[in-house]
Amino acid sequence: MNLYEKIKNKKEKMSVIGLGYVGLPLAISFAKVVDVIGFDISKKKIESYINGIDVTKEVGDTALKETTATFTFNEEDLKKAKFHIVAVPTPINKDKTPNLKPVIGASKTLGRNLAKDSIVVYESTVYPGVTEEVCVPILESESGLKCGVDFKVGYSPERINPGDKMHRLENIVKVVSGMDEESLNIIAKVYELVVQAGVYKAESIKVAEAAKVIENSQRDINIAFMNELSIIFNKMGIDTKAVLKAAGTKWNFLNFTPGLVGGHCIGVDPYYLTYKAEQMGYHSQIILAGRKINDNMGKYVAENTIKLMIKANKQIKGSKVAVLGLTFKENCPDVRNTKVIDIINELEEYGINIIIHDPQADKNEVFDVYGIELRKFEDIKDVDAVILAVPHEDYRTLSLENISFFYNDNYTNINGNDDVKKVLIDVKGMFNRNEAEKMGYLYWRL
């Protein structure tokens, strides 16, 4: 009986290390068919899960209350498992270089508690070579075991899309890889227990690592192209959304739109690839050019907000701007690496007072990470401009009439003229431009 059969028959347990937006759905899904230990170093997070509170909003409180998975922050519990999935984040440093501290830390923790004849699968996004050249030596030194003899490793890139209720773990094809044929087959069969869409066996661990890092790099480049088009068309006085709608009638036109690229994947992963390329003596041209454009879009939105406020004859210093949405994407509570913060920081440099609202974000996390106090809807009043930064479903119930109540009732400008248009920055184009302009808004979008 190999390890897959033991896992399937509940003779052995599996663990998921790192219970965030990727790890938690993994643990919950696998717990429906096998015995799962969910481990995270955050005692606060584990206590929330044990109490049935899903801080990620990825699986829901009900699923947490009903799951058979065991949640723990005690690393010694990992000794009870033989199949381990590492799903910790891989962020970047301030200088845009890979920050491997979480994956190194997880490898040390697991190594200290690694049992003989185990299989370790990494899901964290990394550049090609990290699993075998960085993680394996740590597992060996911490455990005293020999890779290939006492334990084996594999890599299976995560493809979960936070906040997306359609593309889930179960219905996305899973790329899997192993250090040899035996480990590859066992890893594939274990994932097939929960992935209904099936698995794809990559030729090697490095191939699987590379596949993951280019998936997000490709998306990043395509969005950067749309953002550059937005900048160009804005200068020409042409509506970008209208242009894309017209171009989209061609069968092979790619459906990408301009926007803020943040989060822990698309805005981060390309730097892992370009870092490794630099080490190999190649300086990226296309990938880094795309990153430069996308990294500057928050500042670009802020600059256009200022321009419209000046056009509306509003005094900039001491004015009040409402920002609706802070998370890195719609319908997701994750505020890590959100580019909305770039808009806020830029506006604050002009002496503008910012009121921030987000129905999805956790107010305590926002305060801990950014020192920002999220406000309630009723706090949004007497503002000089509104920036609809993140098109959450919660905001789709808002009408242009609703938004009009956020502004200063008199809405007088510095010249004393009260016939002034209301500045509305609709970053992702949620509203109809013509309707907004007919209602007297000074309207702008990417």
In the numeric block, which tokens belong to residue 395?
């905001």
Helix, strand, or coil here: 380? coil
CA distances from 315 to 45, 377, 419, 440 (A): 45, 24, 15, 19
Buried residues in 317-327 as b, exposed as e (16+ CB within 10 A)? eebbbbbbbbb
Residue 254 DSSP symbol: -
Q: What is the CA radius of gyration of the chain?
A: 24
CB 290 within 8 Å of CB 221 = yes
Residue 394 DSSP symbol: G
Give residue 423's identity as a one-letter amino acid code: V
CB 231 within 8 Å of CB 437 = no
Residue 265 known to be catalytic:
yes
Phi first, then psi: give them for residue 77, nearest 5 degrees: -65, -20
Strand partners, 426: 388
Residues 6 or more apart in contact with residue 47 via CB below 8 angstroms: none
Q: Which of 135, 147, 265, 332 is catalytic?
A: 265
Provide the pairing of β-strand 174-178 with 199-201.
Answer: parallel
CA distances from 408 to 158, 164, 307, 320, 357 (A): 47, 36, 19, 9, 18
CB 319 within 8 Å of CB 309 = yes
Phi first, then psi: give them for residue 240, nearest 5 degrees: -60, -40
Q: Which residues are catalytic?
A: 265
